[in-house]
């Protein structure tokens, strides 16, 4: 089995681990690159992300209580404040010095696109820029962060591939789609993403009308799909009437075999369509992908001879090549 989560290179990237709206009165827990994390908002409004274990007796900090930006461990009442500093050890009394090793080892964190992004090391990558997030003509729609029983490499490989559309997505947009994949030209899409553009006539069932804005049985789509290392895919769908539907597909490795997945949507529609109608169709597409991917055992082979490839696999093969180089797998 290909093992990749312990690669030092992956500790230099940013990963979405939660929605900003999920942060509440207690610490939020998450597992990322094989490590459990706790996330809470400090008294100054900044986020704190640290290993989910108290340095005293390793109790999970995420079961503690956050009050005025300070997290109290549920086991012995140790209190942690801004930047993970331990500010109180009740059993020692208020005048006692706090051991330097009592402070938490915090990770770098950002809030962007409605998500909490974490980098466990020194960032070597920027979070990819979505210009439409600053465009008033577009609205942003966030979705829940889900735990999928499949590896992050398999997710990216799937999202870069469209030869599976007529077979996996028969309940959404793939029914009746021509299975023959045209030859693709790969290249930089902008400063952040590398990928391709293709055109397709996609099925447009009743459930898709809110997304496409059309009541026709089939709609013409120009789709531009690309990846940003290590595990982010952006797919921009353009319709003939000028409507754009942009998907940012984000996978975060929990470990070598499991992932967190969320997607963000930007649209330049009239903002009058119920967001849940739009997201319901995209969620249904994701459910079809998930049902297939969770039947495939193990993580994705990354060696050049690990899989049989044909011309339609060109985009995902290019991602695999670059990812293997990144993590040092030949």
Do residues 86 and 98 lie in contact, with contact meaning Cβ atoms separated by under 8 Å? yes
> What pLDDT band is residue 24 in, cutting at 50, 70 and 90?
low
C-alpha closest to that of 244 among 265, 272, 275, 217: 265
Model pLDDT, residue 158: 96
Model pLDDT, residue 26: 61
Task: Kindly give the pairing relationship between strand 194-203 and strand 187-188.
Answer: antiparallel
Residues 253 and 295 in one domain: yes
Residues 83 and 158 in one domain: no
Residue 98 has pLDDT above 80, yes or no: yes
CATH of the domain at 96: 2.102.10.10
Give the count of domains, the chain. Answer: 2
C-alpha closest to that of 8 among 330, 302, 328: 328
What average pLDDT does range 239-249 have in this prediction?
A: 94
Distance CA 299, CA 153 (A): 7
Residues 100 and 154 in one domain: no
What average pLDDT does range 241-261 have in this prediction?
A: 95
Phi, psi dihedral angles at 202 (to 5 degrees): -105, 145
pLDDT above 90 covers a percentage of the chain that reads 68
Residue-wise pLDDT for 290-303, tens only, equals 999 999 998 888 87
Residues 110 and 171 in one domain: no
Domain-embedded: residue 290: yes
What's the domain range around 110?
Answer: 8-119
**Last residue within a domain, chosen from 94, 119, 144:** 119
Domain-embedded: residue 189: yes
Give the strand order in the sheet containing 35-41.
Answer: 28-32, 35-41, 47-51
Q: Name the CA dihedral angle for 174, 177, 180, 185, rounded to a multiple of 10 degrees.
A: -70
C-alpha closest to that of 196 among 43, 48, 20, 318: 318
Residues 19 and 56 in one domain: yes
3-state secondary structure 89-137: CHHHCCCCCCCHHHCCCCCEEEEECCEEEEECCCCCCCCCCCHHHHCCC
Task: Flag whether the pTM goes above 0.85.
Answer: yes
Distance CA 86, CA 66 (A): 14
Q: Which two tokens stand for residue 23?
A: 């942060």
Residues 154 and 290 in one domain: yes
What average pLDDT does range 159-182 have in this prediction?
A: 86
Residues 238 and 93 in one domain: no
What average pLDDT does range 263-282 have in this prediction?
A: 91
Residue 1 has pLDDT above 80, yes or no: no
69 or 270, greater pLDDT: 69
CATH of the domain at 192: 3.90.380.10
Domain-embedded: residue 136: yes
Do residues 62 and 28 lie in contact, with contact meaning Cβ atoms separated by under 8 Å? yes
Residues 206 and 263 in one domain: yes
What average pLDDT does range 122-136 have in this prediction?
A: 95
C-alpha closest to that of 32 among 126, 113, 152, 112: 152
Domain-embedded: residue 179: yes
Residue 160 has pLDDT above 90, yes or no: yes
């Amino acid at each position: 089995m290909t093992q990749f989560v312990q690669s030092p290179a992956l500790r230099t990237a940013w990963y979405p681990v939660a929605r900003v709206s999920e942060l509440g009165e207690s610490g939020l827990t998450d597992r990322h690159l094989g490590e459990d994390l706790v996330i809470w908002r400090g008294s100054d409004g900044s986020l704190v992300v640290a290993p989910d274990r108290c340095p005293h007796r390793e109790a999970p900090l995420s079961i503690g209580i956050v009050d005025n930006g300070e997290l109290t461990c549920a086991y012995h009442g140790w209190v942690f404040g801004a930047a993970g500093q331990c500010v109180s050890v009740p059993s020692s009394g208020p005048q006692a010095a706090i051991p330097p090793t009592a402070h938490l080892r915090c990770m770098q964190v950002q809030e962007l696109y409605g998500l909490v992004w974490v980098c466990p090391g020194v960032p070597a990558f920027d979070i990819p820029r979505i210009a439409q997030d600053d465009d008033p003509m577009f609205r942003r729609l966030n979705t829940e962060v889900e735990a999928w029983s499949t590896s992050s490499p398999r997710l990216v490989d799937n999202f870069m591939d469209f030869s599976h559309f007529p077979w996996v997505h028969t309940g959404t947009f793939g029914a009746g789609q021509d299975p023959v994949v045209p030859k693709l030209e790969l290249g930089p899409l902008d400063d952040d993403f590398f990928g391709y553009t293709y055109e397709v006539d996609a099925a447009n069932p009743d459930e898709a009308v809110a997304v496409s804005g059309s009541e026709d049985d089939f709609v013409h789509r120009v789709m531009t799909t690309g990846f940003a290392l290590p595990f982010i895919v952006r797919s921009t769908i353009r319709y003939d009437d000028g409507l754009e539907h942009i998907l940012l597909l984000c996978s975060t490795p929990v470990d070598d075999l499991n992932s967190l997945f969320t997607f963000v949507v930007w649209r330049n529609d009239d903002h009058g369509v119920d967001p849940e109608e739009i997201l319901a169709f995209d969620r249904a597409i994701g459910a079809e992908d998930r049902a297939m991917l969770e039947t495939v055992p193990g993580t994705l082979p990354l060696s050049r001879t690990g899989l049989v490839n044909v011309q339609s696999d060109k985009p995902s093969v290019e991602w695999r090549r670059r990812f293997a180089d990144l993590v040092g797998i030949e």
